[in-house]
Every structure is written in structure tokens, then in C-alpha cells.
């Protein structure tokens, strides 16, 4: 049986209208939905409120996921850089070892090996700083 009479929302609210902030009172809006035998206006419909919470928490989770992804990207990029630095360090070491073994005492320095050795030393110095 459907009643045509206007039913008031059964939610208790604070801080609205003439009642001031600290007095809970019945919502004065017209009820539009019934939930478990109680009448609610659109704004206090528990199902709508719950849906709103879900939307908000979904947004929060999306934000967290995006932040986590950004963090992972940063970590990955940092790792890539560190990997390159490690390769550079090995190369510098190899060049200097080669220079020690084959070039230093042979007196056969040319501008190219000079340049390689200088770069290798520069790299090692920069890495230590």
C-alpha cells in the first residue's frame, strides 16, 4: 500500500537551520526513499551515502596507486642510473688496468690512450665525490 502523504526524513542532523550547530534534530526534508522501514530524503539515504563513501575511497585508492607507481618509476630510473654508473666504473677500472699493464712503461702513449686514461680517472674521481 502506498501512502501519498508527505513523510519527513528520519535522519538526525546537526548544524542546520534554526537549531544551531550543536543540537541534533530531525532533518526537515521530505523523504524520498525507504530503507529498512525508515524514510530518508535524498541527502540522507544510507545507500547513497554509502555509495558516496565508496566513490571517495575508490578515488583515494586510485591516488595512492598513482603515487606508488610514481615512486616505483623513480626507483627504477635511479636503478638504471646506478647500473650505468656501475658499468662506467668497471670500464674506468679496466682502462686504468690496461694502461698500467701495457702502456705506462712502454713509452707508446698516444693522444687517444691519454684521453681514455684521463676520462677513466675523471670518472673515478667524480664517483668518489
Residues forming contacts to Zn ion in the complex (CB under 5 A) are 9, 11, 27, 29, 41, 44
Measured from the CB of residue 29, what is the shortest distance to Zn ion in angstroms?
4
Closest to Zn ion by CB, 42 vs 63, is: 42
Closest to Zn ion by CB, 38 vs 104, is: 38
Closest to Zn ion by CB, 27 vs 117, is: 27
Q: What are phi and psi of 20, to 5 degrees?
A: 80, 175
Instruction: Identify whether the C-beta of residue 45 lies closer than 8 Å to the C-beta of residue 33.
Output: yes
Measured from the CB of residue 30, what is the shortest distance to Zn ion in angstroms?
9
Number of H helices, E strands in the chain: 2, 4
Measured from the CB of residue 1, what is the shortest distance to Zn ion in angstroms?
23
Closest to Zn ion by CB, 27 vs 120, is: 27
Measured from the CB of residue 20, what is the shortest distance to Zn ion in angstroms?
18
Return all residues near 69 (Cβ < 8 A) that are at least 6 apart.
none
Q: What are phi and psi of 52, to 5 degrees?
A: -60, -45
Query: Taking the alpha carbons of 8, 9, 15, 17 in that order, is the dihedral positive or negative?
Result: negative
Query: Taking the alpha carbons of 34, 36, 40, 45 in that order, is the dihedral positive or negative?
Result: negative
Amino acid at each position: 500500500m502506498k501512502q501519498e502523504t508527505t513523510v519527513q526524513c528520519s535522519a538526525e542532523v546537526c548544524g542546520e537551520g534554526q537549531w544551531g550547530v550543536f543540537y541534533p534534530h530531525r532533518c526537515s526534508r521530505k523523504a524520498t526513499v525507504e530503507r529498512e522501514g525508515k524514510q530518508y530524503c535524498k541527502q540522507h539515504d544510507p545507500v547513497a551515502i554509502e555509495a558516496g563513501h565508496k566513490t571517495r575511497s575508490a578515488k583515494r585508492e586510485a591516488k595512492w596507486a598513482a603515487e606508488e607507481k610514481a615512486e616505483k618509476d623513480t626507483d627504477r630510473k635511479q636503478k638504471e642510473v646506478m647500473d650505468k654508473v656501475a658499468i662506467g666504473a668497471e670500464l674506468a677500472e679496466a682502462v686504468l688496468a690496461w694502461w698500467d699493464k701495457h702502456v705506462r712503461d712502454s713509452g707508446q702513449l698516444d693522444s687517444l690512450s691519454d684521453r681514455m686514461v684521463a676520462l677513466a680517472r675523471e670518472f673515478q674521481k667524480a664517483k668518489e665525490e
